[in-house]
Amino acid sequence: MLRTSRLLATRMFPAHGYSRATVACRRLQFAQYSHAARTTEGRPRLQDTSHDNLSSWLQRSGLLQRSPTLRNAGPALLYQNALRYEPGTAILSTGALIATSGKKTGRSPRDKRVVEEASTVNDVWWGPVNKKLSPESFSVNYERAVNYLNTRDRLYVFDGYAGWDPKYRIKVRVVCARAYHALFMNNMLIRPTQEELENFGEPDFTIFNAGQCAADPHVEGVGSGTSVAISFERKQMVILGTEYAGEMKKGVFTVMHYLMPRAGVLSLHSSCNEGPAGDVSLFFGLSGTGKTTLSADPSRLLIGDDEHVWTENGVFNIEGGCYAKTIDLSAEKEPEIFNAIRFGSVLENVIYNPRTHVADYSDGSITENTRCAYPIDFIPSAKVPCVGGKPQNIVLLTCDAFGVLPPVAKLTPAQAMYHFISGYTAKIAGTEEGVTEPEATFSACFGQPFLVWHPVKYAQMLARKMQENNVNVWLVNTGWNGGAYGAGKRISLKYSRAIIDAIHSGELQDAEYSTYGIFNLQIPTAVSNVPAKVLDPSRAWEGTTEEFNGTISKLAHLFLANFKKYADKATPEIIAAGPRL
């Protein structure tokens, strides 16, 4: 029997990608466990939970519970286990937990897969974003993940909700082997009350995180040692070969990005806040464009920093926490985020002084994508429950690496749809594996990596919402000014904040505007606390006029070439709202 277990362990843990010692250790551990599991059937197994329905669910999922299973453990216990069992973990001087995510320090979009299933095959926008995986290959990944989790000395289960509106929320269960991952999802999902936990029942969706175990690249449709796969039919997500916690967060969003439009409401990759008068603003943008920073405004209530749904009644946050970038973080620039880094928060890949345990947020030697996950109520201005009324302002945030888009422009309805569908920005260093400096890119709906339906479906739903609610739409560039990346400078955060303040105060509603060149954008001639020169990129440009004209023409051509993918489903008005060469 033990020999059979060793043979199975050899298949489970092939030699590629690991040191010889690690392979031998994992094979032996798995073999011994498998043998023990077969020879101790019928004996009670240690489980740190009194919930019979969870025990039954774990068994049906193939999790044999030889190890203790800690359900919804509190931060103190998760700290204790992380410090004891997970190398590289420490406590920051402010009380936050510091963890390392291993080799992967950003998402792996090239390794994302969606299972091709009869019930959803005609809904999914197949292509580079949603690559197909067969049900058989998903089953192989699932068995590999469960078998790996069964070899761990302890397992963590976290049950929480996605969505603050009870009408639309879903129950999410996370099964993982790292205390760091459990604490992360404790912060990012909506934490149930004790009564809700006792009556949680069956989850609507489950994440099996076996990220410490590499995927088998020889499995059809996998192709590498990392796999992040979603099955809408099985209501499961399986993670292999990456310990980066952001994969779980964005996995939940991907599921909601499919389910909410199917239910007739619009899911959005956006942050959201509310003013003293109840006025709600949405901020669209990819990682690094300023969604989290600009929505954390002490003069306004924070509804959420990244993921929302717009219903017939207003908006609600999908998450229970925030996931902020911390590179170059300071108390002066971002006080609310800085002060949220305390006991209960979890920092990823942040360098700290080994003697004082004070963080060095300027050090990106591990990655530029250093992050902190914290419960939303760590922000003093957070609005809990995280729901709001119908939006009055929409801000499309972009990080222009060419340095030719204005810091702010007021958009017509047609321009709003054109720029929403285009989703121009730059990938910021460290956000994805292999990105070391900003790269110009187009990300449909300002969130292409997370789209499930075709972009036009989300755009059409947004257009209806904008028309019904007479929403003001603004394009705000938080990228470069005075020149392209490498020559110009990143637009000062204080200028971006001043622009957002002018939007909320109504100053920009009544401002004077001029038409800006090839892009035919309306840009204000003045904004309080922002130099007039900065507002017009052609004036701010420090190179020659010929260089500026060549650069803006290059970007315009990129816009036009990208939009050809959507032209067949766009109206003539939307097509005409693009650059004019």
Which residues have a catalytic role annotated? 107, 250, 269, 287, 291-292, 306, 371
CA distance 115 to 486: 41
**42 has which bridge partners?**
none
Closest listed residue to residue 476, CA positions, set 455, 510, 443, 502: 502
- Computed on alpha carbons and rounded to an integer, the radius of gyration of the chain in Å comes to 24
CA 577 to centroid of chain Cα atoms = 30
Residue count of the chain = 581
Q: H helices then E strands: how many in the chain?
A: 17, 28
What is the distance between the terminal CA atoms of the chain, rounded to a whole angstrom? 73
Tokens 């073999």 belong to which residue?
31
Q: What is the DSSP string of 90-147?
A: EE-TTS-EEE--TT--SB-GGGEEEE--TTTTTTS-BTTTBEEE-HHHHHHHHHHHHH
Closest listed residue to residue 163, CA positions, set 262, 275, 264, 259: 259
CA distance 522 to 514: 6
Structure-token pair, residue 219: 């499995």
Tokens 């320090």 belong to which residue?
105
Tokens 């006080």 belong to which residue?
335
- Residue 537: CB atoms within 10 Å: 27
CA 218 to centroid of chain Cα atoms = 28
CA distance 178 to 194: 23
CA distance 52 to 201: 10
Residue 402's alpha-carbon distances to 441, 442, 484, 517, 581, in angstroms, are: 11, 13, 4, 15, 17
Instruction: Compute φ and ψ for 410, nearest 5 degrees.
Output: -90, 130
